[in-house]
Structure 1
Amino acid sequence: MNSKTNVKLVTIAIFVATFLTAVEGTIVSTAMPTIVGELHGVSLMNWVFSIYLLTNAMMTPIYGKLADVLGRKPVFIFGLVIFLVGSTLCGFSNSMATLIISRAIQGIGAGAIMPVSFTIIADIYSVDKRAKIMGLNGSAWGIASIVAPLLGGFIVDHLNWHWVFFINLPIGLVTIAMIQIFFKEKRRIMSSKIDFLGSILLMLSILSILYSFQRWGDDGIDLIVLISFFIFIISLLLFIQWEKRVEDPIISLKLFNNRTFVIQNVVAALISGFLIGFEVYIPTWTQGILGLKASMAGFAVTPSSILWIAGSFFAGSMMAAWTPKKVLSISLFFILVGAIALGSLPINTPFYLFFIISAVLGIGFGITITTTTVTAQSLVPQADVGVATSFNTLSRTLGQTLMISVFGIIFNTQMHKEIVKTPGTKDSMMDILINPQTANQLPQHLIPKLREALYQGLHGIYIAGIFIVILAIIINLFDKKTKDYLQ
């Protein structure tokens, strides 16, 4: 640790940067109906979110390597600057096409914030304190889940949707100033050439696999999906072959010789995939089936964000005493209980039960994600912490992006099966049902049948979620029974 670094102020700056990215998704979701109404682009709405995830995931491993080679500060500040440029362009957008392009730029910048934040935490805190600090930093997501819907609603009602993006500017500029002034690190001299070909092949493989799943979820399997998947296979094979030969690879393949490192990242990907299904579709349940307002529905997952912090604190103590395998066995048990509960819920489930399930899952998520992140960092030499951290972040992002497409396929297929069985109903009615403000426009005698169709779609997602968690538990069983931390 560099003694000149103001640890407290740098930690605050990291917290603010994390909050900035955490609040972005929810606040844009709140404003999206207004944005779509003004820009007339409902058919392109999904791409406002998807392109952000695509470019974010694509750039994450690149930033991780650059953070190791060039230093944390310049990469972190560069990412924030690009994020703010993208935010500004989003605010000035006057069509869905320009908004989507601007969101792509925003995602390119955001790809640096999360992995480099975790890397800086690894630099300024010892292993035994790291889990607690990550828990505190993770509380930004909990705060964002409460603040973002209220803030987004206020901005849209009293200003206009453009300010949803402009509000990032003052916060981001203050964060950049704090990192520039208070975070001190030794100037690094680039000791090797950057692996540009490896970076391009890796970005191509990530982009093609994510696009193929996104397209599959939207339009089913077609020629473009198959071509995208073929490009993924070829670019991945070329990437692996190139990384074996290059002097300083963008991702060292030696990392994958460590069984614990591989297992921790696979578990992180699977649980992050389950997590996105929980967070995205529970509000759909509470609005479409229970008929609650959007603001109230969003609070159904809030206990998860709050208990996540407690789980992170527990993870610190547990990792000090036990192996990663044992810690994950306990945390995955909590998640499995929550997953089985979700998969068993009847259609008339009262709202308060979602609070209880959300709390149980929050503890499991907090322990699992914190443990996988800290373990991934602790298994590699200091010189590779940035790459290891960014790969862990990439694993989680890939898990979320791929599984949200799979869940979408399950959801739409199950709903369609039910709708076909019921005369007088059609798929387009589901859009009206999910919005409590428009549900009363539907014929009253069809609403119970439509809710049953929605329930079957959601039920299919959470049955799939049970199998995802069980798979994570099985994979964790193959881990070592000993610790082999390097730091």
Structure 2
Amino acid sequence: MVGPFVDGTAEPSIWDAGHRRTTIGLLTLVTLVAFEAMAVGTAMPSAVAELDGVAWYAWPFSAFLVTSVVGMVVGGEVGDRRSPRPGVLAGVLVFATGLLIAGIAQHMAVLILGRAVQGLGAGVVIVLLYVIAGQAYSSDLRPRLFGAFAAGWVLPALIGPLAAGLITTHVGWRGVFLFLLPLVGAGLVLLLTAGSDDAPARERADHPRSKAPYALLAGAGIAGLQYAAQRLDLASVALVVVGAAALAVGLRRLLPRGTVRARPGIPAVIASRGLLAGAFFGMDVLLPFVLTEQHGWSAATAGLPLTAGAVGWVVAAQLQGRRPDVPRQRVLRAGFLLLALGLAATATTAVPALGGWPAYLTWAVAGVGMGLGMPSVGVLLLDQSPEAERGANSAAFQISDVTASALCIGLSGVLVAGAADGTGELWPAVLAAVGVLSIPALLGARVAGRTVPPGQAAPAPATTLAAT
């Protein structure tokens, strides 16, 4: 058990007097952004029905995705050039403006605009929260902080859809957007009153050109590929070609050189984030559909294995935070291996005789893998990023996540559409998806060893503790 410092002073914590307000502010904003992302899917059917925008159903999601990539790049540039807290203020205000626009929309075009504004603000905020985490917390506290971040992202998955459903039913879909406004303000006040920045504002002498246009190009490429996966007709072939080209050109300028090859150090860390997200979320969106169509589960029951995965994620994230002394690359490798195991075992949902019930356990195992892996890559990123590059690296980190998730989710959709024969026999799609999505999980287990440059030991905890 970890005890007090050898000099008798209290052990630092993310909840001590020097960090408490910052921690609460960070977690409040993370949770609210995550809740909005989880809840909007529940409210959207009612919104498009009222606004007569069924034909434009996918656009609010695509608009958020495209502008969030732009926001990530802008947030990274602000974090590297200036103090991050004013940037967070601007990002939250933009996000809140988007909530307001969407909440009062009387036309589908206005709702899409509101979602685009939300995405821009959310992208800025998420990246700058990482920059603040790098400034305000020492290396030995970051595993606990990212464990708390995991809870802030995953817990909305447990309550978000239900809460949004109740609000939509009893208040209306607009409440899903408007009720978040005062809570966003509260989180912002806590964060901005937590203390001054640990680092002064910076201005680079060379004033490098903004990469925001490339972010817009990459975001448009992702949206084009997603739309093509939904159409699956002749026109989708052209969309795939154009979208892939736009994405390739954009990512070439947005990700560190060597990311695709997982070059040791930061490139491998950023690649690992994408491999984790792609492998997990590619199956996460497919699993309820398979349980519903293959085994006849109700919509509510089919979502319960996802809850099991979320619980596994949160529990593992908290456990890894209690062992900051364990090298992060080892924890990351264990996470990838458990994710691969959970994916492989989820292939049992293809067996009609089992009725899909093993998914409760198998997806919990995959969630444990994510709970070990996601916080670990966050710690590795901040430990290896120079202060002047934390913003750019955090932006690339998030872009890797978004890109890989979108591509693997789209691929899962294509596999389902291509394998289903119209009779409800989806087992070929399940097996194909498990096989394809296991590749990034297994590849990640190999890449994990490259997340620390050769000859460089993993950073040791910053404090010397005495066992009790």
The alpha-carbon deviation at position 376 of structure 1 amounts to 1.2
Of 228, 232, 246, 1:216 maps to: 228
After superposition, give the CA deviation of every residue in 1:122-168 in whole Å (9 maximum; x if it has no partner). Answer: 22221112111211221123321221122111111111111111011
After superposition, give the CA deviation of every residue in 1:29-59 in whole Å (9 maximum; x if it has no partner). Answer: 1222222322233332222222212211232
**Structural mapping, 1:37-436, within 5 Å:** 37-185=49-197, 188-192=200-204, 195=207, 197-220=209-232, 221-233=236-248, 239=253, 259-316=264-321, 320-322=325-327, 324=329, 326-345=330-349, 346-350=351-355, 352-415=357-420, 418-419=421-422
Rounded Cα–Cα distance in structure 2 between residues aligned with 1:271 and 1:252: 18
Rounded Cα–Cα distance in structure 2 between residues aligned with 1:53 and 1:166: 20
Contact 2:328 2:376 in 1 (8 A): no
Rounded Cα–Cα distance in structure 1 between residues aligned with 2:121 and 2:448: 33
Contact 2:257 2:267 in 1 (8 A): no
Gaps of 5+ in 1: 241-250, 420-448
RMSD of aligned C-alpha atoms? Answer: 2.9
Rounded Cα–Cα distance in structure 2 between residues aligned with 1:321 and 1:478: 16
- SS of the residue corresponding to residue 197 of structure 2 reads coil
Gaps of 5+ in 2: 1-11, 463-468
The alpha-carbon deviation at position 74 of structure 1 amounts to 0.8
The 3 A distance-change label for structure 1 pair 39 and 459 is farther
The alpha-carbon deviation at position 106 of structure 1 amounts to 0.5
> How many pairs align?
440
The alpha-carbon deviation at position 19 of structure 1 amounts to 1.0
Rounded Cα–Cα distance in structure 2 between residues aligned with 1:195 and 1:406: 39
Identity within the alignment, %: 21
The 3 A distance-change label for structure 1 pair 58 and 409 is farther
Given the two structures, how large is their TM-score scaled by the length of structure 1? 0.82
The alpha-carbon deviation at position 350 of structure 1 amounts to 4.0
Contact 1:213 1:402 in 2 (8 A): yes
Contact 1:323 1:481 in 2 (8 A): no
The alpha-carbon deviation at position 110 of structure 1 amounts to 0.5
- SS of the residue corresponding to residue 358 of structure 1 reads helix
1:435 matched residue in structure 2: none
The 3 A distance-change label for structure 1 pair 368 and 349 is same
The 3 A distance-change label for structure 1 pair 170 and 348 is farther
Whether 1:25 and 2:37 are equivalent positions in the alignment is yes
The 3 A distance-change label for structure 1 pair 481 and 319 is farther
After superposition, give the CA deviation of every residue in 1:418-462 in whole Å (9 maximum; x if it has no partner). Answer: 13xxxxxxxxxxxxxxxxxxxxxxxxxxxxx2x21x444344322
Contact 2:343 2:363 in 1 (8 A): no
